[in-house]
């Protein structure tokens, strides 16, 4: 998921090793090295604010400090970890769910093509692996074949699906699923919704109605990591319109740049619960700073 960033940092290590011997790195030398690094990070969709944090961290660690060639990569790793610890909020999903009253209602929202339905199915699979029961709500009554898609997932996973006809009130579908979960003593309700833009007033009003009726415990925004910085800007407007509690980044296995992963949590001030890393149900990873740093230098 970090193909471009891996190459950028590898190149930086090589450049610095050519610049330093056993001497100190001057401010001017650092600025020249980081100028090239900054341009490449921007092209990899890393947000300017995150780049500034990395620059300040590296400058404090490198300028006027006696260095050896072999120590720079270690300094870069440490600096990245320090920066990502500031910029990436993470959360233990299962642990968080267990603090909430049952049934826990989770609303999945996002833009067209972000992968909400597949992501919802992955979360249902995760819950089953943790011995937590759930029901799925086919709240996307707008997109053709959306109900059938979720029905297939429900059958594969062996969980109940609550559905209405196409064109039905999505809030009513979610409400019926909640009532079913309450009657059966289930742990969670996972509510699918139609993909929408913040500019689509009717669909946004529909989403607001679902939130009023259900009052979900968690509203999770699914973001397509391939859309880069545009997804962050759109997500900000989405959050302002309906409010979200956390993020799931989909398609990270296809994101060769990787900058969105490093930036989106900081820019939205929201925790990343999961990274979608493939099409299988088990391709859902928790976001951990230590793991991300290891992946960057793998």
Which among 212, 205, 208, 216 is positioned nearest to 178, based on CA atoms? 216
Position 234 pLDDT exceeds 80: no
Using one digit for the tens of pLDDT, what is the confidence trace for 178-227? 999 999 999 999 999 998 776 778 888 889 999 999 999 999 999 998 88
Which among 181, 190, 184 is positioned nearest to 150, based on CA atoms? 190
Using one digit for the tens of pLDDT, what is the confidence trace for 78-96? 888 888 888 888 888 999 9
Q: What is the CATH number of domain 3-86?
A: 1.20.120.140
Residues 6 or more apart whose CB falls under 8 angstroms from that of 181 comprise 102, 103, 134, 135, 187, 188, 189
Q: Which two tokens stand for residue 116?
A: 């909400």
The reported pTM is: 0.89
Angle ∠(248,250,254) on CA atoms, nearest 5:
150
Q: How far apart are CA 1 and CA 225, in angstroms?
A: 10
- 20 or 167, higher pLDDT: 167
Radius of gyration of the chain (CA): 22
Using one digit for the tens of pLDDT, what is the confidence trace for 252-266? 888 777 788 888 888
- Phi, psi angle pair for 168, to nearest 5°: -70, 165
How many helical (H) and strand (E) elements, i.e. helices and strands, does the chain have?
A: 12, 8
CB–CB of 164/141 below 8 Å? yes
Percent of the chain as helix, strand, coil, to the nearest 5: 55, 15, 30
Q: How far apart are CA 76 and CA 288, in angstroms?
A: 18
Query: Going by CATH, does the domain composed of 93-296 fall within 3.40.50.300?
Result: yes
Q: Where are the domains of the chain?
A: 3-86, 93-296
- Mean pLDDT, to the nearest integer, of 245-252? 93
């Amino acid at each position: 998921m970090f193909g471009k960033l891996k190459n950028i940092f590898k190149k930086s290590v090589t450049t610095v090793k050519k610049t330093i011997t056993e001497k100190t790195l001057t401010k001017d030398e650092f600025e020249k090295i980081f100028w090239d690094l900054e341009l490449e990070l921007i092209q990899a969709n890393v947000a300017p604010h995150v780049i500034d944090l990395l620059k300040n961290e590296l400058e404090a660690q490198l300028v006027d400090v006696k260095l050896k060639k072999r120590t720079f990569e270690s300094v870069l790793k440490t600096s990245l970890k320090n920066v990502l610890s500031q910029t990436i909020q993470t959360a233990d999903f299962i642990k968080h769910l267990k603090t909430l009253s049952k049934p826990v209602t989770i609303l999945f929202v996002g833009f067209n093509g972000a992968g909400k339905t597949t992501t919802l199915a992955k979360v249902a699979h995760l819950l089953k692996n943790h011995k937590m029961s759930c029901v799925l709500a086919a709240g996307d009554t707008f997109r053709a074949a959306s109900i059938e898609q979720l029905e297939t997932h429900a059958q594969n996973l062996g969980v109940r699906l609550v559905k209405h006809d196409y064109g039905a009130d999505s809030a009513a579908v979610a409400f019926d699923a909640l009532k079913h979960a309450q009657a059966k003593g289930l742990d969670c309700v996972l509510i699918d919704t139609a993909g929408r833009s913040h500019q689509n007033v009717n669909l946004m009003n529909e989403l607001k109605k679902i939130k009023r009726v259900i009052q979900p415990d968690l509203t999770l925004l699914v973001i397509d990591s391939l859309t880069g910085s545009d997804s962050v800007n759109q997500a900000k407007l989405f959050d302002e319109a309906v409010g979200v509690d956390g993020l799931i980044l989909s398609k990270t296995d296809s994101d060769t740049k990787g900058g969105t992963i490093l930036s989106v949590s900081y820019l939205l001030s929201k925790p990343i619960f999961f990274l979608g890393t493939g099409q299988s149900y088990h391709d859902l990873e928790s976001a951990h700073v230590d793991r991300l740093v290891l992946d960057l230098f793998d």
